[in-house]
Amino acid sequence: MQRDEFSILYPITTRWMDNDIYGHVNNVTYYSYFDTTINRYLIEAGGLDINNSPVVGYVVSSSCQFKKPVAYPEALEAGLRVLKMGNSSVTYELGLFKSGDADPVAHGEVVHVFVDREQNRAVAIPHGIREALERILM
């Protein structure tokens, strides 16, 4: 996977609190970067209202492969694309890149299932979100 395979790239700035005792960004923090990237896209491109939308995405699966350590202070970019999409679920692929680097420091996958917020049951991906996801489908 390379940076130029992603049409969506968002800046991520590491924070002092992201570093662990070993002097690099702790592995669990990468998942926070993934979640931030996905939700930014859903809000900006798909019209998701995180406070009031009747349908929300729940993470049901996630994975990450760590390639190179990063530490504070470091400027990263998070790439996002969709690997596959069903009626109520979507699989995202993400890559984290140091600014200007073609190869990722980490990459992973996240699966969302869209659910009715009140009934907590899987439902079809809302139209506006589906259209946004189709734009970044591989």
What is the phi/psi pair of residue 20, to 5°? -105, -175
Structure pTM? 0.96
CATH of the domain at 32: 3.10.129.10
pLDDT mean for each 10 residues of the chain (138 residues): 96 96 96 98 97 96 97 97 98 96 98 97 98 97
Domain region containing 36: 3-135
Q: Counting Cβ atoms within 10 Å, is residue 61 exposed (0-12), middle (13-18) or buried (19+)?
A: exposed
Q: Are 78 and 92 in contact (CB under 8 A)?
A: no
Domain total of the chain: 1
